[in-house]
A and B are shown apart, each in its own frame.
Chain A
Amino acid sequence: MTPTLQIFLIVSAALFSTGLLAALSRRHAIFILIGIEMMLAAANLNFIAFWRFGPPHQPPTGVMIALFSIAIAAAEAAVGLAMVIAVYRHYHTTNVDQLDQLRG
């Protein structure tokens, strides 16, 4: 079976939904970050698949965007982990339900 655009889109949609589900249902900050990374990865897969199955001899926009967004996702993960450590220092937990100083 040759891969078609549809298969890639289905895989990326599944990856995005799994990531979103993880981000919404998990209470542990690290798991939420993992879910967000999965959502970004799904978008990258889309970009590359659309470029691969697009018209021939087009500028490699999709690949360029994927490269940039990988770098951005890495920066986001770095900032996110730093933030989790900062929170852990104060609360001694990373369960987002227990962060309840700000409410109303």
Chain B
Amino acid sequence: MSYLELLKLASPEIVIVITALVVLAIGLVTGHAKSSATISTAKPAHTVSHTSIATGICSVVAALGLAIAIGAILMLPQSTTLFGGMLVITPLTRLFKIICIALAFFTVLLITSQKPPPHLGEYLALVLFATVGLMLLVGSEELLMIFIGLELLGLSLYVMTAFDKTDVRSAEAGLKYLLFGSTSSAFTLFGISLIYGMSGTTGLAAISEKLATASVQPLLAVGIVMTLVGFAFKIAAAPFHLWAPDAYQGAPVPSAAFIASGSKVASFVVLGKIVLVGFAPMRGSADWHAMTAGWSPVLAALASLSILIGNMVALAQSNVRRLLAYSAVAHGGYTLIGLVAGGRDGFAAALFYTTIYAVTLVGAFGVVGLVRRKTGGDNFSDFSGLVSRSPLLAGCMAIFMLSLAGIPPLAGFFGKFYLFSTALHASANHGLLWLVALALFGSFISLYYYLLVLKAIFVNEPSLPAAQPFDRLTPDLVQRAAVAVLAAAVLFLGVMPDVLAARILAALP
């Protein structure tokens, strides 16, 4: 193993880190130019055009870097393992690195706007660092590396959440997210330490070998449960979801979109790897007639609580972002069912579901961001009569909401169908029937609150007299295009789910 080879295998991550540093430098230089211009009282119009060009350059550089990273991933060999699993390249990690980068790409598109946030360079750099965290998480089968990836992602996301310094809610959401998130990472680290102590290793494959031969020790069980608790925080499974509504509502819209999409996809990939590869011998059973101790009853309990609490509390919300947060808790519960079902099919179903969920949520947050820019809020009242103001956005939001509710022919329907049918067939005598029945019940409830959003958009009269119609040629053309592309993707994946599902299934060993 030479350093040159390491550089080659880690090239996608390196490309993104370099891009982040370049974006940071551009932001720094132009930021200085702006402040000096303000001091010398230059023409304000000139300053504005200058900064908008600078922010444009930042965004283009960031998008370009992400595109180059995708190219670098395509150049990687099919499968390699470095340092006992610290960096793993398999078809699965390649596919999900590309998905994570694509989600980051759409997040970058949502940022660029007519009125860019101050310090855009720093913000974009944080998005890129968080993307590297996602890629490390996805591309590793070693507990130390997974922990570093989690923290790189987490620390970037905390700052992204609190980035809007003028907004009280942003700071509050950031602090709450940080306190919950770092408590959960302390749990994860303590759990990892016990697992390391009991198995003497941190590679997932090696842990699995040790567990298969050793008898179950209490400390090991504690370690596994604590690690799972840490991840339950990350995927916002009830009862560890308390940070999610605040973070989704208070954070700047692109940050919320990234937390809901990229962070969730990567967390599910790595959680699936940990439980299905690392802890495979400790599986237990969550069948209703033969429940035995292991991680799968723990995950089943988390899933059922998430489905119930997420859907019930979402019913009472009047803010669209908070509603999306509670529904995210419920969707996290549905996805966990795939991991409980286990096996290649269950993992593939969970990954497919979380991917289409992420695509849908980025789009939904894109619409929320555009509405928020016009009306200054994101309550139901701000959405009322959206269809007369912007038919495009209203149509896209309808696609996203109906997909989340699971209406055919949208992607959410196929995702749920695939997930639930896999769970039904996973064990003998339909052992997971109780979980699937609960999830179906949850889906019925969720249809009600998703339709509430659509009622506000399509039926209610515009309540704000000041809400002007959206101009046809506003500068936020990029965002509208991004939202439309995402809506088209949701529709396309619903009609031809095999494009993604077959790829994920083929990528799994």
Contacts and interface: CB of A to CB of B under 8 A. Distances in A.
A86 B189 contact: no
Contacts of B173: 102
- Residue among B189, B193, B197, B219 having the largest count of chain A Cβ atoms under 10 Å: B193
Contacts of B194: 46
Contacts, number: 128
Given A102-B173, A104-B322, A19 B158 contact: no
Nearest to A84: B175
Interface residues of A, number: 45
Contact of A36 (B183, B192, B196): B183
Interface in A18-75: 19-20, 23, 29, 32-33, 36, 39-40, 42-44, 46-47, 49-50, 54-55, 58, 61-62, 64-65, 68-69, 72, 75
Nearest to A15: B190
Given A39-B186, A104-B316, 17 more contacts: A36-B183, A40-B189, A46-B196, A46-B197, A47-B193, A50-B197, A68-B147, A69-B189, A79-B155, A79-B159, A80-B179, A86-B174, A87-B172, A96-B176, A96-B179, A104-B245, A104-B318
A102 B190 contact: no
Contacts of B178: 76, 79-80, 83
Contacts of B162: 83, 86
B322 A101 contact: no
Given A42-B190, A99-B175, A104-B317, A75 B155 contact: yes
A96 B243 CA distance: 13
Nearest to B322: A104
Contacts of A64: 144
Contacts of B176: 96, 99, 102
B54 interface: no
The dominant DSSP class at the A interface is: helix
- Residue among A47, A54, A82 having the largest count of chain B Cβ atoms under 10 Å: A47
B219 to A, nearest CB: 8
Contacts of A75: 151, 155
B174 A102 contact: no
Contact of A79 (B158, B196, B200, B318): B158
B190 A29 contact: no
A68 B152 CA distance: 12
A83 B171 contact: yes
Contacts of B201: 61
B245 A65 contact: no
Interface in B305-359: 316-319, 322
Contacts of B43: none
Interface string B164-189: 01001101111110110011011101
Contacts of B193: 43-44, 46-47, 50, 65
Given A46-B197, A101-B168, A80 B182 contact: yes
B249 interface: yes
Contacts of B378: none
B140 interface: no
B42 interface: no
B494 interface: no
Given A40-B186, A42-B190, A104-B322, A62 B196 contact: yes
Contacts of A58: 200
